[in-house]
Amino acid sequence: MHTELYYFSGTGNTYYIAKKIANSFPDSKLIAIGSLDLELPIKTDAQNIGILFPVYFYDAPKIVKRFLEKIELSNNPYVFLIANYGGGAGNALANCVTILKSRHIEVSTTMSFTLPDNSIIFPTPEEKMTPMLEKADHEIEKAIHALQNQEQSDLPSKKLGAHLVSKLMLKYSTDYLGFNALKISEDKCTNCGLCSKICPVNNIATSATYPQMNHNCEMCFACLHHCPEEAIRFKHMKPKTNYQYTNPNVKLKELLQI
């Protein structure tokens, strides 16, 4: 049975879950959503399909929702959605289920895991990292067993409160904090080019002087967390800490393959 795992990941948490699942299904393929041409239909005849993503503002990332509008399935596959987040998933999974339902695609099960938060404003304390990663690891193992048995589960439904909080968080974080307008500090940047290579949506162009941010940011913060000089910050907000996080079980070269 052929398995395809479509994922979007900035700092490796989602990639880590996808990798663990891929390692447990013999004929499986990891596919980065950022590498797909979403102007075209994404056709697949896989019998097992996983879609994995981080939660942003109690919702799924924009690119994941665009992907859900484009995927075309055949053979009535087993479809599962997996979200991961630092504190709360809000309507992220429910919104994805709704998009797929409107396209007559039935989701068999949804799952979610808590992993260290990469959103900068809610940094996960150092001492909580290891227990959190170990707990998630254990839960992912159990989830893999359920997926191998093609278990079904009740699907989440949308909550009005989470919807309102999501809209507020998104507006505050973009209009006020500048989450989608990251800035490269020219004093610190050494023009090493890593930010451009690590961006999963190719939003950072290289130049002879400094990398240039384009206008297609998904707010994954891969560039900010990987920058060796800590030269990437929000346009409007100075974070209190120099918090940088990347999943310790994922190597840089794995994320660069995305």
Q: Where along the sequence are the contacts to ligand FMN (CB under 6 A)? A: 9-14, 54-58, 84-88, 90, 115, 117-119, 179, 219-221, 247
Cβ of residue 7: shortest distance to ligand FMN, in angstroms?
8
Cβ of residue 207: shortest distance to ligand FMN, in angstroms?
25
Separation of alpha carbons 120 and 106, rounded Å: 35
Cβ of residue 16: shortest distance to ligand FMN, in angstroms?
8
Of 73 and 84, the one with the shorter C-beta distance to ligand FMN is 84
Sign for the CA dihedral angle at 168, 17, 217, 236 comes to positive
Cβ of residue 40: shortest distance to ligand FMN, in angstroms?
25
Of 90 and 211, the one with the shorter C-beta distance to ligand FMN is 90
Cβ of residue 165: shortest distance to ligand FMN, in angstroms?
8
- Edge to edge, what strands does the sheet with 109-114 contain? 28-32, 3-7, 48-54, 78-85, 109-114
Is the separation of the CB atoms in 51 and 96 below 8 Å? Answer: yes
Of 2 and 62, the one with the shorter C-beta distance to ligand FMN is 62
CA distances from 234 to 120, 165, 168, 224, 231 (A): 10, 21, 18, 9, 10
Cβ of residue 49: shortest distance to ligand FMN, in angstroms?
19
Residues contacting residue 181 through CB under 8 Å, at least 6 positions apart: 174, 213, 217, 234, 235, 236
Of 145 and 167, the one with the shorter C-beta distance to ligand FMN is 167
Q: Count how many Cα atoms sit within 13 Å of the Cα of residue 141 in the half-sphere of its side chain.
A: 6
Is the separation of the CB atoms in 95 and 55 below 8 Å? Answer: no
Of 64 and 219, the one with the shorter C-beta distance to ligand FMN is 219
Of 28 and 84, the one with the shorter C-beta distance to ligand FMN is 84
